Amino acid sequence: MKRVRIPLLFLAVAAVMMLFYTDRNNFRYRYQVGSPWNYETLTATFDFPVLKSEEQLQQEREEKSRQHIDCYRYDENVVKQVAEAFSAVEQDSLQKAVYQILAQIYASGVVSSLNGDEDMISVRRGKRIEQIPASTVYTSAGACDKFRDEIGAVAQGVNVDSLLATGKLAEAFVPNMYFDAQMTATMARQALEYISPTSGMVYAGQKIVSRKEIVTSETARILDSYKAEFISAYGGSTQSSLVVLLSHFFVVLILLAVYALMILVTDKTLYGNFRQLSFLMLLYTLVYVAVAAFPASNESILYLIPFSLYILYMREFFRNRICLALYLAALLPLLTLRDNGVELYLMNALSGAVLLISYRYFSRGFRQFANSLFILLALAFVYITFRIISGTPVSQREVLYLALNSLLSIIGYPFVFVFERMFSLVSQMRLWELSDTNNALLQELSRTAPGSFQHSLNVANLAEAGCRAIGGNTRLVRVGALYHDIGKIENPLCFTENQISGDNYHKNLTPEQSARDIIRHVTDGVALARRHKLPEQVMDMIASHHGTTKAMYFYTQYCNEGGDSANTEPFTYKGKLPESKEEVVLMFADSVEAASRSLRDYSQQSIEALVNRIMDGKITDGQLAKGDITLGEIDRLKQVFTENLQQIYHGRIAYPKAKKPVKQSAS
């Protein structure tokens, strides 16, 4: 089943990649403003409209906004009401003239006031809307003046002022056109929506760009239009769907193969840990989907995607030496799926490398946000460099995206704990917390089994030095060493290092009983670790630090008392064989440190002989049958352990005896 899981994992990732793969790059031409056209002369094979640039569209929107036209609603009944005010005019001929003049004035329209900047206004009469010059519309005062002029011309000898004063007729000129704010807003919105996205046509057979011609911004706009129409009309390809599907499959296969080979080259042991491999493939899939998900028309959104989070997540679970290599491999889809892929690849490659370095020094508390500044500087450096090369202006929106990108690269850090729980991994931050000797479990060990706690500290220092020498996870092995004997909390006096009073716990026990109580500290330790929700890797180190060795002291005592030497089961630890490099180092360090306490001579020769005897014995006993360690690394461990034990048990000079009493200093 284990052999099948890895191929199934890669097939699942390939299926997701195929699902998100698009036809955007079947348009085979790559171009950039300011660079020469490196293909043969391109001629249009079909008619297509030339799309306006975003700057042009924005300019037209602003122009439309400036060309503001107010809309008024026309009321047909107002003229009748005004005419009634003039019904007091007694002469029939004069009354007829009054009605005609009023009809003409109100036909043009009367408003309370007009915006002096308006040239045209819209008028709604029933269901019909028309635009008329603002100059043809009267205000109430203007309508009164117009009436005075017109009536004076047709009614000779009539006192116009007297006529207007009759019944306060001057106040009768009320508006018949009212400003409609809702309709004005609707028409303004519709005007913006009706902006044409195209400006001109290119016809089949017309030359678009010549070989070696420098691509200008105008040429690039025509090429963008040609590409958009090509993808829209032909689905991005003029080939059969089967050929296109196969081409997509091979691209996906190549990308996946490069990533898989990079894992193999950097750390082949990852293929032996399905959880870690699954986590790596999930990160790769997330990067790929982020690259492929956005349409070609919105590629600038990729400046916002914090790809450097990949590095941040990786460094929490893996050694730095593999993080950058896998990150660079994971970014390869940018080169194959995006027109500006080279720029995006270099931007994110540099920002990821910078983050990997800076996070060593700024990884605690609020200082983490200093990394955002370094990421922004790296992104901006590459971005501005490409803008200078291409001769295109810096976009404020894209700069804002880069700033948000750098911020998201740090804000997204807490998802580390989600991945930690999903894949049963242990992060560096979690290891930092567990290595704090002030936590409750280690404090309990220190209080109930002080000798075992001191032994654990010594083993932690020894194991950490060994792991550093052979390239293991030093923080993980330190945590494993600190907790490897926590099972002794359950029965501390069973172990000699905790027997302070001199009473021998095993005095009245048989060898089998003593061995049973000694051996059970492993299973007790695993149970305590599970109860306190320690990481699985730490539980494995507790379970494997004695492997399947024997409690030799009591086994030898049993045999010396006439016991059957073939009866090894009561004296054998029920743990697991160490597998990871860290588990092997802990087993060696634990055994060597414990045995070193029985030495009487701490010379280099005696310490070296002890280390060789203990470690060779583990190998001969088959405890390294599953261990991920080489003979060269074992030799290096022997050397490191010998050097460290020499420093721990170094000789001290003997103070000379004074011939005369020495007066003590008052201080």
- Give one DSSP letter per residue of 410-426, joined into a string: HHTTTHHHHHHHHTT--
* Cα(270)–Cα(318) distance, integer angstroms: 10
**How high is the pLDDT of residue 238?**
47
End-to-end CA separation in angstroms for the chain: 74
Backbone angles phi, psi at 279, to 5 degrees: -65, -45
DSSP label at residue 664: P
**How high is the pLDDT of residue 167?**
45
**How high is the pLDDT of residue 571?**
92
Contacts of 606 (CB under 8 A, 6+ apart): 599
- 477 burial level (CB within 10 Å; 0-12, 13-18, 19+): buried
pLDDT band at 16; cut points 50, 70, 90: very high
**How high is the pLDDT of residue 406?**
93
In this structure, of 398-412, 492-506, 511-525, the range with the lowest mean pLDDT score is: 492-506
**C-alpha 507: how far from chain center:** 61
pLDDT band at 133; cut points 50, 70, 90: confident
On average, the pLDDT of the chain sits at: 84
What is the average per-residue pLDDT within 245-267?
90
Q: Is pLDDT above 90 for 236? A: no
Task: Identify which has the larger pLDDT, 69 or 201.
Answer: 201
Q: Is pLDDT above 60 for 582? A: yes
**How high is the pLDDT of residue 601?**
81
Task: Identify which has the larger pLDDT, 169 or 225.
Answer: 225
**How high is the pLDDT of residue 66?**
63
Query: What is the pTM (predicted TM-score) of this model?
Result: 0.62
Q: Is pLDDT above 70 for 239? A: no
Backbone angles phi, psi at 71, to 5 degrees: -115, 135
pLDDT band at 37; cut points 50, 70, 90: confident
3-state secondary structure of 500: coil
Alpha carbons within 13 A on the beta-carbon side of 235:
7
pLDDT band at 169; cut points 50, 70, 90: low
Fold of 428-648: Hypothetical protein af1432 (1.10.3210)
What is the average per-residue pLDDT within 527-552?
93
User: Shortest CA distance to 618 belongs to which of 567, 573, 648?
Assistant: 573
Q: Which long-range contacts (CB under 8 A, 24 or more apart) does 442-449 make?
A: 442/482, 442/483, 442/486, 444/489, 445/485, 445/486, 445/488, 445/489, 448/489, 448/492, 449/485, 449/488, 449/489, 449/492, 449/495, 449/497, 449/498
Let me know: does 465 contact 483? Beta carbons within 8 Å: no
Task: Identify which has the larger pLDDT, 29 or 419.
Answer: 419
Residue 76 CB coordination number (10 Å)? 10
**How high is the pLDDT of residue 667?**
42
Domain ranges of the chain: 2-22+240-422, 28-52+196-234, 66-193, 428-648
pLDDT band at 479; cut points 50, 70, 90: very high
pLDDT in tens, 134-153: 888 888 888 888 887 877 77
In this structure, of 34-38, 421-425, 447-451, the range with the lowest mean pLDDT score is: 34-38
